[in-house]
């Protein structure tokens, strides 16, 4: 074969796969979630679901399907009038007000920055272990 590629060269070039570097899962660019940040409030439907789940379990004790509960709750929610939805909407609004108040306090605390009195991510035992390791290294050398 003059000037051409052999069968093995063409076959291997067709089969080779160029892998792109894998992206980190999900939100690698976003900062890590803060466990102290207040959770968003439930909507009126989810407030309704809290009550509905309990009544549905009493009526259908053998049902283990989450999908069945969700479907039944959705159908019931659609059939409710605005007057029947009002207590759930009111609870949801109250939770939203509380959430906004908590978020303002949280954001204010974030702006102030960490206080010196607060402990770091390390537990007290980890800090003590590090101190012991530093002190213990001198003792081991003396034994020889």
Going from N- to C-terminal start, the domains of the chain cover 44-111
44-111: CATH, from 1.10.10, 3.30.70, 1.10.30, 1.10.3470: 1.10.30
Contact assessment for residue 76 and residue 140, using Cβ atoms and an 8 Å cutoff:
no
Q: How far apart are CA 4 and CA 13, in angstroms?
A: 14
> What pLDDT does 6 receive?
62
> What pLDDT does 32 receive?
80
Over its length of 144 residues, how does the chain's per-residue pLDDT go in tens digits? 566 666 665 555 556 566 665 555 555 566 688 888 999 999 999 999 999 999 999 999 998 899 999 999 999 999 999 999 999 999 999 999 999 999 999 999 988 876 554 555 555 555 555 555 555 555 555 554
> What pLDDT does 113 receive?
75
């Amino acid at each position: 074969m003059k000037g051409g590629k052999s069968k093995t060269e063409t076959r291997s070039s067709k089969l080779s796969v160029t892998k792109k570097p894998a992206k980190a899962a999900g939100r690698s660019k976003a900062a890590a979630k803060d466990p102290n940040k207040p959770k968003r409030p439930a909507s009126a439907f989810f407030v309704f679901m809290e009550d509905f789940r309990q009544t549905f379990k009493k009526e259908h004790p053998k049902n283990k399907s989450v999908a069945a509960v969700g479907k039944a709750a959705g159908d019931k929610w659609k059939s409710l009038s605005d007057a029947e939805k009002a207590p759930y909407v009111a609870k949801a609004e109250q939770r939203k007000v509380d959430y906004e108040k908590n978020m303002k306090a949280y954001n204010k605390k974030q702006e102030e920055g960490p206080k010196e009195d607060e402990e770091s991510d390390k537990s007290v035992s980890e800090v003590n272990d590090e101190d012991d390791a530093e002190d213990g290294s001198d003792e081991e050398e003396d034994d020889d």
